[in-house]
Structure 1
Amino acid sequence: MGSITKDSDPRSGTGTAFADVDVAIIGAGISGINAAYRVQTELPDYSYTIIEARSAIGGTWDFFRYPGIRSDSDLHTFGFPWRPWTAQKSIADGASIRNYIRECAEAYGIDRKIQFHHRLVAADWSSENQQWTLSLDTDNGEKVLRAQFVILSTGYYDYKEPLKTTIPGIDNFKGQVVHPQFWPENLDFTGKKMVLVGSGATAVTLLPCLAEKASKVTMLQRSPSYILPLPSVDPSGELIRRFLPKWLALKVIRWKSLILPYLFYKFCCRFPSAARRILRSAVEKQLPKSIPHDPNFRPSYSPWEQRLCVCPDADFYKSLRNGTADIVTDKIKEVTATGIETESGKKLDADIIVTATGLKMQLAGGAVMSVDSKPVVPSEKFIWKGMMLQDVPNAAFVIGYTNASWTLGSDTTALHVCRLLKYMDKNDMASATPRVKEGTIMPSKPLLNLSSTYIEKAKEMLPRTSNVGPWKPRNNYLKDTWIASYGSLTTDMQFTKAVKKVN
């Protein structure tokens, strides 16, 4: 494809027309930087650019700035395999992750390929010209970019709008209402009474940080989550560092961090009752006598039907033991001028209410995609090998794992795309389009195998998977890496030959 672009006639009305870049990567977050590294390393003759709507590298880790933001995954697998995470803490704060991503991009010159303040508005594939036309909104007005292949590394959160939720009477509240997605930069909560509505990873992260300054923080949850205390610095990792050379220690730690959590995930799925008992035992050791395990820490679902929440060094439970934080499991009856009244009659006074009620999912950063001017509806499509939409040529969606670090899934996708492009170059192909063979029975399965509220509400917009061939969902990094490296590229894939300039 790199050679196809150079040899093509820009005046040609058919075949492969001139493109500005071979590959356009959308998003300069952790997935976009990883995709850029893979493209420039695996395909050195290819031209590429990164389109970033915001003004900085980092994606989610630059956008979200609420107190205590950190990873829920260990950085030895969340970090890049080509530039390992070397810090001691395996569960790191947002600022450290943001700096790490930026340093990695600068070290390999990837930062010079980024076009900031360029937001993808629409993308249309032309079968006649065998290329994408990307409509961009920039500070200097509208701009058009043509690309042979598009990698959508946009994550899956809507930055402009959080998940909508109904809180009865919220307009009655005379204090301040804050959503973590839009945390005020100068919010002073010192000495304030705060009610934190929610029980997911964001709420679990916020509570210990808020409790350091607030007079009291009450986490009000409709239903509890599993909250697993883990050391921020892995003792076994420190032992490995002590006895092995640094380069080898980092490899061993990474593999340990890959395998052990996956085995625990499989254990939870296979033996949910035993997993419940293990998690309950871990929590009960951390709780103060004033806070019972049931119903506050007894979810209605089995472990890993939703992601487990992690609290480094048991900071969440320390706040409960210190008395600076409390937890209430109840439903909201009504928000009053001075706080919240629950259905059981509890009255929670508040100066500030934090609505950590979830994030809204979004594909392609909200851009409208079309093929020959016909809109693409992702929910009507199956997804090929977890990365390419049925009937959509030369476009890959970077979607990570729900049961492991996001970066593992994004790297598998990037490697798979590079191998596909090499195959297309070798065989003079201009485009690759996933197709479901006529007559194939395709039972529909959800793309993401979790029952979390934000995923349930997004099912109508997400593409589907099946149990047939390359349409199966991805959930095993080792297996998926093997498929990306050696699996078939031609099964259920339609290729179009490139038409080159005739001298």
Structure 2
Amino acid sequence: MWYIDTLQKYKPKTFKTHFVVFGTGYYDYREPLKAEIPELGRFKGSLIHHQFWPEDLNYTSKTIVVIGSGETAITVIPKLAEVATKFARFLSLLSQVPRLGSANDSSHHNVATTRSHLIRSAQPWDQRLCICPDGVLFTSLRSGNVEIKTNTSESITESSIRLKSGDFLAAGIIATATGLKIQFAGGIRILVDGREFFLNENFILKEMMMQNLPNVTLVIGYTNISWTLGADVTGILLCRILKHLNKRGGAAVVPRVPKSIHLEKRRMLELNSTCVSKAGNDLPKTAQRWPWQLRNNYLLGIIHAMYGRVDEFLDVIV
């Protein structure tokens, strides 16, 4: 039996259940990924993180510096440029993209002169691909409201950023579009028989159930296609496991790694993006062999979920 301690309107309440399903995603929704930018604390203007964007933020006559090079920056910048156009004023958005391109070829806002800024060293699926509908990023670049600087910051003053190229970027607002912090199971503390259970110390079976953790499933999706397709695979397989448990008349089902099997630890998420790299060893462990292996093929996943074995490496406790 699981006991779930919660806070409802600041009042503690405990729920009892036989089975727990964590549909919490893999981001930390309370704490953002901290941007490692030297002297950022010296800045006296508005400093915001894209995850907690203030609804009442006043852009009027402000120069915004967006620091970031990935999907977050590509998503945020065109929208801000659009707002600037509606206010009929000049708004400069500079996306700082570390180690790529040249810092001296961004004086004109067109595709030709920004090409060096947009060349990435990462291959497709080393990081997630960001689709920019209708070319809105290039539209914002042509508008004159957006400028790209490809460089890294050397120092920050009360009202500007100095780049290693020697350029100064005046800033009224700095927005750090540096990604999200990864967190599984919603950061909830898990106790088994009074002892804390750590996800990162155990292998995950079929990317859904943790080794030595009874009656618990994590809903995890794919990183190379739609996340929700992985949730579908997990849901189908979970239903079959529950039916198997009921058929056996069991009270709990627990994944086990036999002593005769040697598992070599592998990365859970095959991405080299900043948020994944910083998560490091905090993620559940995957291995070199099925069913402890990384799940990255939807077709194989759905076939196995519907027709594969459900009892392998699972102990049923009556």
1:414 pairs with 2:235:
yes
- 2:59 pairs, out of 181, 189, 210, with 189
Residue 158 of structure 1 corresponds to which residue in structure 2?
A: 28
| CA offsets 1:408-430 (integer angstroms, 9 cap, x no match) | 11111111111111111122111
Matching residue within 210, 215, 219 for 2:95: 219
Q: Structure 1 runs of 4+ off > 6 angstroms?
A: none
1:288 maps to which of 110, 114, 117 = 110
Q: Does residue 203 of structure 1 match 2:44?
A: no
8 Å contact from structure 1 (residues 191, 213) kept in 2: no
Aligned-partner SS, 2:19:
strand
Cα drift, residue 467 of structure 1? 2.1
Alignment of 1:96-111 (within 5 A): none
Mapped partners of 1:377, 1:397: distance in 2: 14
Provide the rounded CA distance (Å) in 2 between the counterparts of 1:223 and 1:479: 38
Residue pair 1:424, 1:430 contacting (<8 A) in 2 also: yes
Please state how far the C-alpha of 1:289 moved relative to its aligned partner. 5.3
| Secondary structure at the counterpart of residue 391 of structure 1 | coil
2:192 pairs, out of 367, 371, 374, with 371
Instruction: For 1:453 and 1:459, locate their aligned partners in 2 and report how far apart those are by CA, in whole Å.
Output: 10
Asked whether the equivalents of residues 431 and 496 of structure 1 are also in contact (C-alpha less than 8 Å), the reply is: yes
Q: What's the CA shift for 1:140?
A: 5.2
1:145 paired with 2:21, answer no
| Residue deviations 1:114-169 (CA, integer Å, cap 9, x gap) | xxxxxxxxxxxxxxxxx111111222521111111110001111111111222222
Q: Give the Cα–Cα distance (whole angstroms) in 2 for the partners of residues 223 and 398 of structure 1.
A: 36
Give 1:165's aligned amino acid: A
Alignment match, 1:338: 159
How much does 1:469 deviate? 2.5
**Equivalent residue, structure 1, for 2:286:** 465
Is the CA contact 1:190–1:213 (under 8 Å) kept in the aligned structure 2? no
TM-superposed deviation, 1:213: 3.0
Deviation per residue, 1:192-224 (Å, 9 max, x gap):
211000112111101011112342211112156
Aligned 8 A contact 1:386 1:471 in 2: yes
Which letter maps to 2:256?
A: R
Distance 1:290 1:313 in 2: 18
User: Which among 45, 48, 51 is matched to residue 175 of structure 1?
Assistant: 45
Question: TM-score w.r.t. structure 1 length?
Answer: 0.59
1:312 to 119, 133, 137: 133
Q: Which residues of structure 2 form unaligned runs of 5+?
A: 85-90, 102-108
Query: Which residue number in structure 1 is paired with residue 245 of structure 2?
Result: 424
1:433 alignment partner, one of 224, 243, 254: 254
**Shift in Å at residue 290 of structure 1?**
6.1
- Bigger helix fraction: 1
**Superposition pairs of residues 27-426 of structure 1, within 5 angstroms:** 131-139=1-9, 141-214=11-84, 215-223=91-99, 288=110, 291-294=113-116, 296-426=117-247
Find the counterpart in structure 2 of residue 491 from structure 1.
312
Alignment match of 2:263 (pick from 426, 429, 442): 442
- Are the counterparts in 1 of residues 68 and 95 from structure 2 also a CA contact under 8 Å? yes
Residue 37 of structure 1 aligns with which residue?
Answer: none
Partners of 1:338 and 1:223 in 2: CA distance: 24
Alignment CA distance shift 1:315-1:224 (3 Å): farther
For 1:471, the aligned partner's letter is W
> Is residue 199–residue 223 contact of structure 1 (8 Å, CA) maintained in 2?
no
Paired with 1:343 and 1:427, the residues of 2 have a C-alpha distance of 66
Equivalent-residue separation in structure 2 for 1:290 and 1:326 (angstroms): 13
| 3-state secondary structure, aligned to 1:309 | coil
How far apart are residue 350 of structure 1 and its match?
A: 1.3
TM-score (norm 2): 0.92
CA distance in structure 2 between the aligned counterparts of 1:416 and 1:321, rounded to whole angstroms:
49
Alpha-carbon separation, structure 1, partners of 2:158 and 2:314: 59
1:357-384 Cα offsets, whole Å, 9 max, x none, are: 1211111111111221121111111110
Contact persistence 1:173–1:337 (CA under 8 A): yes
For 1:288, give the aligned amino acid.
N
In structure 1, stretches of 5+ residues that fail to align are: 1-130, 226-286, 498-503
Q: 1:119: which partner in 2?
A: none
SS in 2 for 1:480: helix
Q: Give the corresponding residue for 1:240.
A: none
AA matched with 1:202: T
Q: 2:115 aligns to what SS in structure 1?
A: coil
CA offset at residue 172 of structure 1?
Answer: 2.1
For 1:321 and 1:224, locate their aligned partners in 2 and report how far apart those are by CA, in whole Å. Answer: 21
User: Is 1:433–1:495's contact at 8 Å kept on the other side of the alignment?
Assistant: yes
**AA at the equivalent of 2:15:** L
Alignment size in residue pairs = 305
Where 1:478 maps in the other structure, the secondary structure is helix
Question: What SS does the corresponding residue of 1:457 show, helix, strand or coil?
Answer: helix
AA aligned opposite 1:217:
L
2:100, 2:151 within 8 Å by CA — same for their partners in 1? Answer: no
TM-align CA RMSD: 1.6
